[in-house]
Structure 1
Amino acid sequence: MDAHDALQHRENIIESCVIQARHLHTLRRVPIFMTALCRVRQGQKRLQWDEQEMLAGPQHLVLMPAGRELGVSNFPGAQGHYIADVVSFPVSVLRQFMARYGEQFARSAPGHVNTELCVRLDKQTRQAWDQLLVALNSGAPAALCTHYGEAVLLCLCLSGQAGPLLMGRNDPLSERVQRLMMSNLSKDWTIAAAAHQLNVGESTLRRQLANEDASFRSILENVRLAAALQRLQTSSDPIGEIASACGYASPSRFAVRFKTHYGLSPRALRAAI
């Protein structure tokens, strides 16, 4: 399997990770590049979006649609830790689900589409979520994990709560650029190189990104910082190594950019974890 095939394969599978922390920490402007669902096992998560705010615990499922930028605070629970499972859903899985159940989604809540990003788990959704995590954590085949992932989406759909995840999925060019950059974070990306791999002209790429209120430079910065955030939260790799892997030649510059964006330095985040 060559690099391109490996990337395509990775983009077509549901994946999960566990976020843990020992101390309260707050992150502002967290960009969501791949649609995901999050459930807190221990502690609570405060979510801020569109001038709204909500506190989520184990009884909730947090919806994290691609393209959003969220404010997040993670609070350790009585046991002394914050622990949450996060499951990401690639665009291909969402498209496949909509092709199969789109009509059901349209009928589930006529005249009303939920816009909340924090929804209370019902019995069916909780059971489907637990089955999905078991499949992912046991290394089940990708097709089986997709089946359980679609079961979670269907439960949300039938209860009228899937709106933020499934509305407006038109695969904008900015998301294609994001996925391209995520395939090789350490690459010295230029707009010319990205345009070549996306089979569009450089001027066309600039113009279409501007039409989406985006820019190549801002996308590259956000992708690198988001990848660094995930690695800081889910691995014990040294901060300097993470900075290099995410395309930063200078660990000090990376630390400045990270703190400016998230309001918390990489070292302070690691201390909280």
Structure 2
Amino acid sequence: MEIPKPKEFRKQRRLPEEEEDEINLLNSWIQSQKPDSGTNPMSLPLLPKTSPVGRLDDNTFSRYAGVLRFEQLPLSKKTKDALRSSNYVFMADIQRASLPHALCGRDVLGAAKTGPGKIFAFIIPVLEKLYRERWGPEDGIGSIIISPTRDLADLIFLVLEYIGKYHGFSAGLLIGGRKDVAMEKERVNKLNILICTPDRLLQHMDETSNFDCSQMQVLVLDEADHILDSGFEKQLNAIISRLPKCRQTMLFSATQTKSVQDLARLSLKDPEYLIALEESWIATPF
């Protein structure tokens, strides 16, 4: 395979003043209140319901680790509006544990069962990272989400449509068994978020002319134990070797086998290891 030369490092585009101000505020909030590495935010005392959120009167920011509600997190208005319109108010355990670390850019190794709660735990950081990086249509692939099965990829895409409906990012499903490979090849480099199975992604890396993920910001490996059990270990290793080293990676797995631990060592840097094997939903229909 001839690996295409990477693009020149992208220049961040200018957004409307209101969005620029929001991004600057979010970056300050995230950096000033990020949780200590190696801690589980669920172990922190909860903030009172009446506590102010965001920038406080003394020009500091509210804590976002150890909170219950999505509105208490440093999220863009577009993401919060989507959550609110779908009646998502309270976070599940895996979200409470992982989102504070993921939002500040850390790698995450999460132990969690299948379900929308876990999917939210990586979809929200993907959307927020690209938003704060001012990602645009011309920037191409900003995130790759790898799933072991077509059914799970479909569910991830559905969740992305719900939570990302007010963002302008383009997304696509690249999954084995579909017949429109030629059409995919024509548009894959124009997509911002790829949701794919390992075999289909590697097919595009091998066959699609000028396939370029050199500026990718976030890699997600969902149900890593099932990916490895399905015989995709060689494909995953080949994929990871072609991705940019400077990235955020989130790996979720219901079981922590030796193969999963080996994959984590290969793909993650100083990850936060967070466990939430039981999903607990409060007033969050799906």
TM over 0.5: no
Greater helix content: 1
Query: TM-score normalised to the size of structure 1?
Result: 0.28
Query: TM-score normalised to the size of structure 2?
Result: 0.27
